[in-house]
Amino acid sequence: MSTALYEKTKHAIRESIRRGDFAIGDVLPPVEKLARKLPGSNATVRKALVELAREGIVQRIKRKGTVVARQPCLGRVALMLSHDAHLNGLLAEPIYARLHDIGYDVEVVPFAYDARLVEQHCQRLHRQQPARLEFAVVIDPMHPYDRARASIRDSVEAYWRTIQTFPRRVGFTLSNEIFDPLTHCVGVDYQLASRLVVEHLLKLGHRRIAVTDTLEGGYTTQSADACKHLMEIAGGKCWQMPLWNVDPHIARGEQLIAAERITAIWTLNDSDAVVAHGRLQRAGVRVPEEVSIIGRNDTPWCVQGPLPLTSISINPAGVADAIAQVVERTRLADGCVPGTTLVPPQLMVRASTAPARQI
Dist. CA 81–CA 63, nearest whole Å: 47
Count of CB atoms situated within 10 Å of the CB of 270: 25
46-57: per-residue pLDDT in tens?
888 888 888 788
Intra-chain end-to-end CA distance of the chain, in Å: 85
* Same-domain check for residues 253 and 148: no
Q: Tell me if 337 is assigned to some domain.
A: yes
* Average pLDDT over every residue of 55-78: 86
Lowest mean pLDDT among 36-40, 200-204, 268-272: 36-40
* Same-domain check for residues 32 and 119: no
At 30 the three-state DSSP class reads coil
Percent above pLDDT 90 for the chain: 49
Q: Tell me if 305 is assigned to some domain.
A: yes
Percent above pLDDT 70 for the chain: 95
On the CB side of 104, CA atoms within 13 Å amount to 25
Q: Tell me if 353 is assigned to some domain.
A: no
Of the pLDDT bands very low, low, confident and very high (cuts 50, 70, 90), residue 222 is confident
* Average pLDDT over every residue of 323-346: 90
* Same-domain check for residues 246 and 295: yes
301: pLDDT strictly greater than 80: yes
pTM to 2 decimal places: 0.82
Q: Which of 38, 68, 98 is the last residue of a domain?
A: 68
Q: Tell me if 336 is assigned to some domain.
A: yes
Q: Which of 47, 68, 89 is the last residue of a domain?
A: 68
Output 352 or 133, whichever has higher pLDDT: 352
* Average pLDDT over every residue of 121-126: 91
Dist. CA 15–CA 73, nearest whole Å: 10
Rounded to an integer, what is the distance from CA 258 to the centroid of its chain?
A: 38
Q: Tell me if 276 is assigned to some domain.
A: yes
* Same-domain check for residues 300 and 337: no
Dist. CA 296–CA 89, nearest whole Å: 15
Query: Residue 337's pLDDT is what?
Result: 82
Instruction: Report whether 293 contacts 70 (CB < 8 A).
Output: no
Query: Residue 111's pLDDT is what?
Result: 95
Q: Tell me if 127 is assigned to some domain.
A: yes
Lowest mean pLDDT among 140-149, 154-163, 303-312: 140-149
Q: Which of 68, 98, 114 is the last residue of a domain?
A: 68
239: pLDDT strictly greater than 90: yes
* Average pLDDT over every residue of 298-305: 87
* Average pLDDT over every residue of 116-129: 88
* Average pLDDT over every residue of 303-318: 93
* Same-domain check for residues 52 and 113: no
* Same-domain check for residues 333 and 291: no
* Same-domain check for residues 211 and 133: no
Query: Residue 38's pLDDT is what?
Result: 82
Q: Tell me if 23 is assigned to some domain.
A: yes
User: Between the ranges 31-45, 206-220, 223-237, where is the mean pLDDT highest?
Assistant: 223-237
* Same-domain check for residues 210 and 304: yes
Q: What is the CATH number of the domain that holds 59?
A: 1.10.10.10
* Same-domain check for residues 197 and 306: yes
User: Between the ranges 3-7, 60-64, 118-122, where is the mean pLDDT highest?
Assistant: 118-122
Lowest mean pLDDT among 105-109, 224-228, 304-308: 304-308
* Same-domain check for residues 179 and 79: yes
* Same-domain check for residues 161 and 300: no
Q: What is the CATH number of the domain that holds 86?
A: 3.40.50.2300
1: pLDDT strictly greater than 50: no
157: pLDDT strictly greater than 80: yes
Query: Residue 245's pLDDT is what?
Result: 59
Question: Among residues 45, 162, 145, 152, which one has the least CA distance to residue 109?
Answer: 162
241-294: per-residue pLDDT in tens?
877 655 666 677 788 888 999 999 999 889 889 888 988 888 899 999 999 999
Q: Tell me if 306 is assigned to some domain.
A: yes
Query: Residue 249's pLDDT is what?
Result: 63
* Average pLDDT over every residue of 210-222: 83
* Average pLDDT over every residue of 178-187: 85
Cis peptide preceding 288, ω within 30 of 0:
yes
103: pLDDT strictly greater than 90: no
Lowest mean pLDDT among 144-148, 197-201, 227-231, 233-237: 144-148
Query: Residue 316's pLDDT is what?
Result: 97
- Neighbour order of strands in the sheet with 104-109: 104-109, 75-80, 133-139, 168-172, 183-188, 339-343
For 60, the domain range is 3-68
Q: How many domains does the chain have?
A: 3
Of the pLDDT bands very low, low, confident and very high (cuts 50, 70, 90), residue 335 is confident
**What is the average pLDDT score of the chain?**
88
* Same-domain check for residues 337 and 289: no
